Amino acid sequence: MTTTSNPDIVYTKVDEAPELASASLLPIIQKFASAAGVTVGTKDISLAGRILATFPENLTDAQRVSDDLAELGALVKTKSANVVKLPNISASVPQLVAAIEELQSQGYDIPDYPEAPATDAEHSTRKRYDAIKGSAVNPVLREGNSDRRAAAAVKKFAQANPHRMGAWSADSKTRVAAMSGGDFFSNEASATLASEATAKIVLETPSGQTLLKESVSYPAGTVVDATFMSARALDSFLADEIAKTKAEGVLFSLHMKATMMKVSDPIIFGHAVKAWLAPVFDKFGAKMADLGVNPNSGLGDLLERVADDADIMAAIEAITKERPPMYMVNSDKGITNLHVPSDVIIDASMPALIRAGGKGWGPSGEEADTVCVIPDNSYAPVYDEAIKFFKANGALNPATAGTVQNIGLMAQKAEEYGSHPTTFEMPEAGTVKMVLQDGTVLHEHAVEKGDIWRSASARKAPIEDWVNLAIERQKTTGFRSIFWLDANRAHDAQLISYVMPILEAKGVADKFEIMAPAQATRVSLETITKGENTIAITGNVLRDYLTDLFPILELATSAKMLSIVKLMQGGGLFETGAGGSAPKHVQQLVEENHLRWDSLGEFCALGESFMFLAEAKGNARAKVLGETVEVATQDVLDNGRSPSRKVGEPDNRDSHYWFARYWAEALAAQTTDPSLAEEFAPVAKALAENEAKITSELAAPQGKPADIGGYYHGDMAKLTAVMRPSATLNGIID
């Protein structure tokens, strides 16, 4: 892979499966783009890259890297931005620690992650590392709102080749369990600021006042929220649900997003671990603390730390026998739902369970009905309503289903719940207050020790841009368009006060509906079941959840979504679907040298990026590249050239060969630019004539272990050798 200082298109260097795929795909993209005078460079936003950029003073001159995330953050605020963003790791603490240990083993003198900082230096190190955790990348890059939908070629293929859906039965015991009070939803307060303001966040207790956040600045018109989750109510809820699940004879599962909600959700996850092992913590809590046990890190870490203590292990074994069977991440390896906070991510796990007919995998390796525990009731009703709908109506038919597109509010860190640096676990009981610079108390909550308090905001300009983007999309499609907003929820009520005047001023209020998420879920499912289409216009978190839920039901995967971020300053950010970074795919590559990651999302984003570049810079050749990318993408689908899941069958590298071939053939066949056709005719010919040799060379390494030199920070030479094993293909491309 090559890079350049000021490329026309920036292709992000990320983690895990998407980064492995880039080693094969990016040289092809750079080769084809150069024919149009388009440069494609890279910027490193991987977890390892972010860690190294955070501690330059610890590294040698040769080891230092630029802060590419900061550079991209500046770029997306310009009109010239054209960024293709692949999925990156939103790190949980165990992932962060693992990445640090790997980098240290490679000779990088970076500090350990202080789990329990004691000194000023450790507190400083912890603060710097915490800025890398969770959804650290997306708030920096998303300087625009989201337009996500199934690409036309992908939807057409899914309808012609419907994927398998699990059968639903009306008597399924699968259900969603959420708190009925004491959660973020029930405690939420929200206000719109009339003028620019600065707030401090304090905890007032009988012993004095603790400053939680010195200063947060908001422009006029910002919607500012504050809420908390009661630790007492959460523990009671979890204990009740464990008991109910046992009585119902089904699997127990917890569905969180500890990667995005990097402060709140790991704490909630830890409460679930403690609830599951409550008698063990009651008896051995102090001893386990001395062994370094932190329930927020998950059951897997806990078991490693207490493995040599026979009494604790016996107590864990005894309580496990009394608990209901647990939903498993990997039954064969004994990895449970509670092992690692980043293993079960709600926006992927819940749609997969719903697609499977409400079934989850149990400890025995058998599928079973499942209680889906989603403590906070803000968005749990979406999944609850979906499950009720399919119980009553049976599974969705992908061959006839319409589509749900999404317009999501996310610009300028809108609604960054949990990952926002204004989330705190209460050190003692008292009253949390958000106090404006003039002394006005904007929000206040009475809290107890251990409660999780958080605030988030959405600025006026992103909200208005979001509504206008929805108006534009509805006008383009004519689809039924629904704002997923609950008038009875504090935050949503403030957004509605923005939405309605804009719709009325533009004379389009009759073309939009406003519904609470549960009702909107049912209406949307009814709409697509009839083969019709709808647009879900949502806030940030629902954008994240729905752009997995509906694509997984419609297409079998969310990785094939077209995801366009129209940056507010005029640039473009093209995300490659919502498929995550696929750690299991890396495991299979390392063990069997087979990568099942599907780069279709990259193909879709690439076409849009070229089309945007053509319009922005008047590059007619870039437009031809974009149009032929779409032809090639359709050919990959129509001819079944996507990767197989099984070793010994075509994988990601094969799909890249076919994409390059179809792209070259489309360029050679087009008549818009005869010189491009002439240039790519011999490339297309060489790729076709050498098909047998290339596919043989691509298949040869499969079935054997692959050495990529590191999980989080691989060796580029080794990675290139693994991902570009065909000398014949490389010769044609290079």
Q: How many CB atoms lie within 10 A of CB 196?
A: 12
Asked if 171 and 229 count as a contact pair (C-beta separation under 8 A), the reply is no
CA distance 281 to 295: 10
61 by Cβ neighbours in 10 Å (0-12 / 13-18 / 19+) ranks as exposed
Those residues whose C-beta lies under 8 Å from the C-beta of residue 30, and which sit 6 or more positions away, are 1, 2, 40
Res. 646: pLDDT tops 80: yes
CA distance 659 to 657: 5
Res. 1: pLDDT tops 50: no
Structural tokens at position 580: 């995550």
The length of the chain, given as a count of residues: 734
Confidence bin at 138 (pLDDT 50/70/90): confident
Query: Which residue, chain included where needed, has tokens 């859906």?
Result: 165
Those residues whose C-beta lies under 8 Å from the C-beta of residue 406, and which sit 6 or more positions away, are 146, 147, 148, 149, 535, 536, 537, 538, 543, 546, 547, 550
Q: What is the CA radius of gyration of the chain?
A: 26
CA distance 582 to 578: 11
Three-class SS state of 291: coil
Query: Which residue, chain included where needed, has tokens 């997984």?
Result: 552
Model pLDDT, residue 187: 98
CA distance 408 to 463: 10
Model confidence pLDDT, tens digit, residues 200-238: 999 999 989 999 999 999 999 999 999 999 999 999 999
Res. 710: pLDDT tops 90: yes
| Spacing of C-alpha 271 from chain mean position | 23
Model confidence pLDDT, tens digit, residues 589-602: 999 999 999 999 89
513 by Cβ neighbours in 10 Å (0-12 / 13-18 / 19+) ranks as middle
CA distance 494 to 489: 9
Confidence bin at 277 (pLDDT 50/70/90): very high
Confidence bin at 2 (pLDDT 50/70/90): very low
Res. 4: pLDDT tops 60: no
Q: At what angle do helices 152-160 and 620-638 cross, to 10 degrees?
A: 10
Find the range with the poorest average confidence among 102-106, 214-218, 331-335, 676-680: 331-335
Query: Which residue, chain included where needed, has tokens 């899914």?
Result: 158
Model pLDDT, residue 5: 65
Asked if 235 and 271 count as a contact pair (C-beta separation under 8 A), the reply is yes
Burial 439-458 (b: 16+ CB within 10 A, else e): eeebbebebeebbbbbbbbb
Those residues whose C-beta lies under 8 Å from the C-beta of residue 654, and which sit 6 or more positions away, are 641, 643, 695, 698, 699
Those residues whose C-beta lies under 8 Å from the C-beta of residue 501, and which sit 6 or more positions away, are none
Asked if 693 and 666 count as a contact pair (C-beta separation under 8 A), the reply is no
In the chain, the percentage of residues whose pLDDT exceeds 70 is: 98
Model confidence pLDDT, tens digit, residues 401-433: 999 999 999 999 899 876 678 999 999 999 999
Burial 388-421 (b: 16+ CB within 10 A, else e): bbbbeeebbebeebbbbbbbbbbbbbbbbbbbbe
CA 131-133-139 angle, to 5 degrees, is: 70
Find the range with the poorest average confidence among 1-10, 126-135, 332-341, 598-607: 1-10
| C-alpha to C-alpha distances, 392 to 322, 378, 380, 704, nearest whole angstrom | 33, 24, 19, 47
Give the chain's mean pLDDT.
94
Model pLDDT, residue 154: 87
Model pLDDT, residue 580: 67
41 by Cβ neighbours in 10 Å (0-12 / 13-18 / 19+) ranks as middle
Highest mean pLDDT among 273-277, 565-569, 580-584: 273-277
Confidence bin at 142 (pLDDT 50/70/90): confident
Asked if 364 and 333 count as a contact pair (C-beta separation under 8 A), the reply is no
Model pLDDT, residue 631: 95
| C-alpha to C-alpha distances, 302 to 102, 284, 288, 340, 425, nearest whole angstrom | 21, 12, 8, 10, 21
Name residue 301's amino acid.
D
Asked if 360 and 173 count as a contact pair (C-beta separation under 8 A), the reply is no
Q: Tell me the H-state helices in 323-408.
A: 346-355, 380-393
Query: Which residue, chain included where needed, has tokens 């390892």?
Result: 48
The average pLDDT across 489-497 equals: 98
Res. 250: pLDDT tops 50: yes
Model confidence pLDDT, tens digit, residues 435-449: 999 999 999 999 999
Q: How many CB atoms lie within 10 A of CB 367?
A: 16
Structural tokens at position 67: 């802060």
The average pLDDT across 58-77 equals: 95
Supply φ then ψ for residue 715, to 5 degrees: -90, 120
Res. 3: pLDDT tops 50: no
Q: CB-side exposure of 541: number of CA atoms within 13 Å?
A: 26
DSSP secondary structure code for residue 646 in this structure: S
The average pLDDT across 555-576 equals: 88
| C-alpha to C-alpha distances, 608 to 463, 578, 671, nearest whole angstrom | 24, 16, 21
DSSP secondary structure code for residue 191 in this structure: E
